[in-house]
Amino acid sequence: MNWTALLKEYSLLTLLALMVNHSVFTWKLPEILNGVRRFLMLWKTPTLSC
């Protein structure tokens, strides 16, 4: 199985899906960013308190 080809195809499909659902993506972007920020804060907190 060629993983690089599969990955390339997957990323292309993802890009295509993002372009198609661009309005949905931009509308969801703040939500996604908030989730990422919250996750990073939770992930960094134990490291900082050690």
Q: What is the pLDDT of residues 5-28, one digit of tens each?
A: 888 888 888 888 877 777 666 777
Query: Cα separation of 21 and 13, whole Å?
Result: 12
Predicted pLDDT at 49: 55
CB 18 within 8 A of CB 25: yes
pTM, full prediction: 0.36
Average confidence (pLDDT) over 33-46: 83
In whole angstroms, what is the distance from residue 6 CA to residue 1 CA?
8
Q: Are 42 and 35 in contact (CB under 8 A)?
A: no
Average model confidence (pLDDT) across the chain: 79
pLDDT of residue 41: 87
Placement of tokens 């490291």 in the chain: 47
Q: Is 31's pLDDT higher than 70?
A: yes
